[in-house]
Homo-oligomer: A and B are copies of this chain.
Amino acid sequence: MSSKRIYHQYCGLAAALDILGERWTLMIIRELLVRPRRYGELLNNLPGIGTNLLAERLKFLVDEGIVAQVEVDGSRRQAYHLTETGQDLRPIVLGLARWGLHHLEDYSSEYSVRASWGLLAVEAMIDQDRVSVDEQYEFKIDDETFHIDVSDSVVHVIAGPAATPSVTVKTDAVTFVQIGAQKLSPLAATVTGKLSLEGDANAVLRACALLGLEADPLAAAAG
């Protein structure tokens, strides 16, 4: 009956995978790391998942104390969000995403892409050891706007526009992920008109360095 498939090993990794290891589970958590989501949003951002599976996974994650439901501002609509325990998974999911970026194949139309994944891609790419001056870099990826804030040598990725951005990056989601996966250089994307960079040239170089990208001088000059 309720014989869920678990590993039966007294080991931290086995315990983690007993909770997170099934198909779609970490993808759901990825979605909730960006922001709280409604059921329909999750369905839309996870093409291929069965509606029953999504409901079952959410119920399980709520039982495990990783996800909770909240009322959305007065209406009776509900949304799912990560508890503190769930937020603890952020560095793990970002680590997996960074590792996986290097294994992405060339883009083809059979892939689906969402702009909001760019936010997590940026977080995954950031090299905390390469912080230089305090400033902000704004990203407009399709309809999503967010920014990197460097203050007192601490880096944060924050939803919404920046107050005083040194650089503003504008592109589409596919181009952005291709750059993150090193399939496309910022220079190549700029000259083909897929990417626009506005702001101080040196700030562009610092942003590239922070994200581990080729600090291409020509890409900066194009801004």
Q: How far is the CB of A133 from chain B (nearest CB, A)?
A: 25
Chain B residues with CB under 8 Å of A93's CB are 13
Is A15 part of the contact surface with B, judged by Cβ < 8 Å? yes
Given A48-B7, A48-B8, answer yes or no on A15-B100 (Cβ-Cβ < 8 Å): yes
**A10 engages B113 (CB within 8 Å):** yes
Is A60 part of the contact surface with B, judged by Cβ < 8 Å? no
**A99 engages B92 (CB within 8 Å):** yes
**A91 engages B97 (CB within 8 Å):** no
**Chain-B contact segment, one of A21-29, A151-159, A187-195, A206-214:** A21-29
Q: With A and B bound together, what is the CA distance between A113 and B10 in angstroms?
A: 5
Q: With A and B bound together, what is the CA distance between A105 and B12 in angstroms?
A: 10
Chain B residues with CB under 8 Å of A107's CB are 10
**A21 engages B26 (CB within 8 Å):** yes
Given A19-B100, A23-B21, A100-B15, answer yes or no on A174-B10 (Cβ-Cβ < 8 Å): yes
Contact of A11 among B85, B89, B92, B177 (CB under 8 A): B177
**Chain-B contact segment, one of A50-58, A67-75, A117-125, A134-142:** A117-125
Chain B residues with CB under 8 Å of A103's CB are 15-16, 19, 64
**A15 engages B104 (CB within 8 Å):** yes
Question: Within A6-44, which residues are at the interface with B (CB < 8 Å)?
Answer: 7-21, 23, 26-27, 30
Task: Write 19 A-B pairs (CB below 8 A) sorted by A numbering.
Answer: A7-B27, A8-B48, A8-B112, A9-B111, A9-B112, A10-B177, A11-B97, A11-B117, A12-B101, A12-B180, A13-B97, A14-B100, A15-B100, A16-B96, A16-B103, A19-B100, A21-B26, A89-B99, A91-B95
